[in-house]
Amino acid sequence: MATTPLPPAVQATQPPAVGASDGLPPPPGTDMTGICFRDQLWLNSYPLDRNLVFDYFALSPFYDWSCNNEQLRSRSIHPLDLSQLTKMTGTEYALSEVMEPHLFVIRKQKRDGPEKVIPMLTYYILDGSIYQAPQLANVFAARIGRALYHISKAFNTAASKLENIGCADAENEDSSSELNITKETVDLKELKRVDHILASLQRKLAPAPAPPPFPEGYAPPASETEKGPDDQQASEQQPPLDPIIDQGPAKRMKY
């Protein structure tokens, strides 16, 4: 990777911090999501691309001057040269994603070996403005808190409406009962119309066929009207027979 010369504007914006024993500013805080950095003068002077984006990031308060990238800058090596960063251990910055010239994602990580890194924080440069990305736990906590707020508000609104509905039902109980009575009344016109339809259908149907004749030698039983008064009295005096007990053992059900 070719070495990128440090712009003069960047060299002039690295004064040692007051009270620092090693001449470096104090390390940035872990939670700086509430601030934003933008240097319009630098953006008007230099192009914002993958070669100069780290120099622009070094101007912001998110930059840690004790990182390995700063050591590479002091030796006139490009601060994002992975071939040099993999040989070092400690805190470093790496360019994660690039969409020139609008979006640059820079990840702060701790390197313990050539292939072992531990992510710490993430920053992104959006159209020249530098922000710190919130941590995933903070995002989940904010989303869950917002969801609980809306759910609680919805339950309160539903409870208030149910109370209003209960009061309205108590007030309109008499009127609703009258409406139910009127709904249950029979409509005579509708009843006559249904009877007319059934009668017309019955006229259209063919008459029922005559019953088949009795076989030869079969005498139909006499009806109750043909019986004499003595027979009717005798039948009325006899108690009804039990189908199981009084019909004899031959007619009982066998199990």
Listed by start position, the domains of the chain span: 8-133, 135-169
Q: Quote the DSSP letter at residue 1.
A: -
Q: Give the model's confidence band at 192: pLDDT under 50 very low, under 70 low, under 90 confident, else very high.
A: confident
User: Which residues, other chains included, contact 227 with Cβ-Cβ below 8 Å and sequence gap of 6+?
Assistant: 235
3-state secondary structure of 61: coil
> What topology is assigned to 8-133 in CATH?
Nuclear Transport Factor 2; Chain: A, (3.10.450)
Name beta bridge partners: 124.
Answer: 105, 131
Enter the tokens of residue 54.
Answer: 């780290």
Q: Quote the DSSP letter at residue 66.
A: T
pLDDT over 50 at 20, yes or no: no
209: preceding bond cis by omega (within 30 degrees): no
Alpha carbons 52 and 47: distance in angstroms, whole number: 7
Q: What percent of the chain has pLDDT over 90?
A: 37
Strand-strand pairing, 90-99 and 103-111: antiparallel
Q: pLDDT tens digit string along 68-81?
A: 999 999 999 999 99
Q: Is the dihedral of CA 139, 142, 148, 150 positive or negative?
A: negative
Count of all residues that appear for the chain in the document: 255
Q: pLDDT tens digit string along 122-169?
A: 999 999 999 999 888 888 888 888 888 888 888 788 777 776 665 655
Residue with tokens 């530098």: 130
